[in-house]
């Protein structure tokens, strides 16, 4: 199987490395030519092992039979959407962003087969050519439009655990509800995931946010029981959430596609999450 991974951040480099390990053909598309040149010379180092993966900053050599995995962050999606509209590519496309705000951006794409993807692996970008696999997990996929059969081979990649979900909204909503609890709290408090359990004040905040989300999304009780939230925090205790990692690196936070989306979708006011949103937005502007 051939893949084109668009985006060479933590998730992109990890995904490309895992697919390469599985024996797949992989082309990694970077935003900057300099990073592509470094990867072509040095390969990608994942946990001490080097994977030689072809990288390019150009879209011209994308194989017609390749799956396109879009791993860039929400803030970089507009340029990817523009490129997909310009190029006469009919490849199956999988969007693997956090949050759900980006779904509206996909409606006018010319591609016929589009899926959503969730990455439940921990990944930390160490440098332009190195990524650390901080937690082994699973890839989840669901159809957004087109032919489901085009994407089912993604479930049969040797050594890469993956699931297919029939309801894309439920799959994505569960993840964004989870992210709306863990990400802003860890970013505001500058703590790792496990400290949301070990710090009694952080734990109280976590419970309060869950209770508030229940008022707007009562389905959370079945989609994401609180025990699953605490279990994930415990399993990823030493991990730095993606939002905290972005904050520490001075990058734009994924606040709109996670928090603002949930705030707008809820039929009721969510004052705690609104406060988190504006606190993080204010700090980001500074």
HSE of 135 in the Cβ direction (CA atoms, 13 Å)?
19
Active-site annotation, residues? 175
Q: How far apart are CA 212 and CA 69, in angstroms?
A: 34
Q: What is the DSSP letter of 129?
A: T
Q: How far apart are CA 119 and CA 232, in angstroms?
A: 14
Q: Which residues contact 189 (CB under 8 A, 6 or more apart)?
A: 195, 199, 202
Distances (CA, A) of 17 to 4, 122, 266: 12, 13, 38
Q: Are 149 and 208 in contact (CB under 8 A)?
A: no
């Amino acid at each position: 199987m051939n893949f084109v991974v668009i985006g060479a951040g933590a998730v992109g480099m990890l995904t490309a490395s895992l697919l390469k390990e599985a024996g797949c053909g992989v082309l990694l598309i970077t935003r900057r030519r300099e990073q592509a040149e470094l990867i072509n010379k040095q390969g990608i180092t994942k946990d001490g092992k080097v994977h030689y993966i072809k990288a390019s900053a150009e879209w011209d050599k994308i194989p017609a039979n390749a799956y396109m995995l879009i791993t860039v962050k929400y803030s970089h999606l507009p340029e990817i959407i523009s490129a997909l509209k310009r190029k006469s590519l009919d490849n199956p496309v999988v969007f693997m962003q956090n949050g759900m705000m980006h779904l509206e951006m996909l409606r006018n794409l010319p591609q016929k087969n589009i899926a959503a993807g969730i990455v439940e692996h921990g990944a930390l970008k160490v440098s332009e050519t190195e990524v650390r696999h901080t937690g082994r997990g699973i890839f989840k996929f669901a159809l957004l439009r087109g032919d489901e059969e085009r994407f089912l081979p993604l479930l049969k990649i040797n050594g890469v655990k993956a699931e297919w979900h029939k309801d894309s909204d439920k799959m994505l909503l569960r993840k964004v509800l989870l992210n709306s609890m863990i990400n802003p709290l860890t970013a505001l408090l500058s703590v790792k995931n496990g400290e949301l359990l070990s710090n009694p004040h952080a734990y109280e905040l976590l419970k309060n946010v869950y209770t508030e989300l229940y008022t707007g999304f009562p389905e959370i009780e079945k989609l994401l029981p609180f025990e699953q939230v605490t279990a994930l925090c415990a399993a990823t205790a030493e991990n730095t959430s993606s939002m905290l990692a972005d904050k520490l690196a001075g990058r734009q936070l994924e606040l709109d596609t996670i928090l603002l989306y949930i705030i707008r979708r809820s039929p009721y006011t969510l004052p705690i999450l609104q406060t988190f949103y504006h606190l993080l937005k204010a700090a980001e502007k500074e």
